[in-house]
Amino acid sequence: MLRVEGIDVYYGRIQALKDVSLKVEEGTVVSLLGANGAGKTTLLNTISGFISPAKGEMSYLDGSLRRKRAHEIVRLGIGHVSQQRDLFSELTVLENLRLGGSLLGDKTKMAKKLEEMYEDFGILKTRKDQKAGTLSGGEQQMLAIARALMAEPRMLLLDEPTTGLAPIYVERIKTLLRRLKERNMTMLLVEQNAPMAVTLSEHFYVLRNGRIVAEGKTESLPENVSGFFHKYYI
C-alpha cells in the first residue's frame, strides 16, 4: 500500500534520513522503532508531505507521493496523528472532530461519522463541548486519533501515541489500536515502547541515526523483546 524507496532528508546541512526504504502492506500494522533523534518523526512527516526528500521515491496505492502536498496526501487517505497532536486547543472537542471530517462533504455523513466516533470514544461524547486544550493528555490523544479517523483514512501514521501518558491511557490507546487493527486499518506506528508496538504489528523496522538498521517479522522476535532491541537504543 505504501512504499518508501531510498529517501534522503536534510535539515540544512544535517542529514536526518539516509537511504531509507520501507513498505507497508494493506491491512497490516508496521512498527517503526528507534531511540530519540533516530529520525522516526522525520520519516512520518516526509510521508505526509510536510518535508520534501532530497532523493528517493514514495508511492501509495501505486501512485507517486513525491510531489504531493500535505493536504493532497490527506485526501488520498493517509491520516497522520502527530506527536504534538495538533489540536485546536481553543475549539471544543466537537469542533475539532468536525474539522477532521471537513473533507466528508455532506452533513449526514458527518453526523454518522461523529456517532461512530462517540461510540468508540465514549469520553469524547461526554466532553464534546469542552475546549480541547482543557482535556487531559490521554483524552487529547484520543481526540487526535478520532479527528484523524473522521476523514475516513485508509491508512494511519501514528507518532508515539502512548508517550507521556498515564498507564490507564496507555492501556486505552492500546485497546483502541487493537480494535482498529481488527477492522483492518493499515497503520504505521512509531513507538519508543518496543514491546507494546510489536504486540500490535506484523512487521518492524528500526531506525538508528537516520538509517534502517534492522527489520523483520515480529513473529520471528525472541520472547525478550526489550533485550533484542536494547542495542539499537544505546
For residue 17, the minimal CB distance to ligand ATP (Å) is 8
Q: 4 vs 16, which CB is nearer to ligand ATP?
A: 16
For residue 198, the minimal CB distance to ligand ATP (Å) is 17
d(CA 43, CA 98): 28
Rounded to the nearest 10°, the torsion over CA 129, 132, 136, 139 is 80
For residue 71, the minimal CB distance to ligand ATP (Å) is 20
For residue 40, the minimal CB distance to ligand ATP (Å) is 4
The answer to whether the beta carbons of residues 228 and 221 sit under 8 Å apart is yes
For residue 87, the minimal CB distance to ligand ATP (Å) is 18
Q: 38 vs 65, which CB is nearer to ligand ATP?
A: 38
Q: 34 vs 153, which CB is nearer to ligand ATP?
A: 34
List interacting residues with ligand ATP (CB under 6 A).
11, 14, 16, 34, 36-42
Q: 16 vs 65, which CB is nearer to ligand ATP?
A: 16
* Maximum Cα–Cα distance across the chain: 51
The answer to whether the beta carbons of residues 9 and 46 sit under 8 Å apart is yes
Listing DSSP states for 138-177 in one string gives: HHHHHHHHHHHHHT--SEEEEE-TTTT--HHHHHHHHHHH
Q: 151 vs 190, which CB is nearer to ligand ATP?
A: 190
CA 223, 34, 232, 51 dihedral sign is: positive
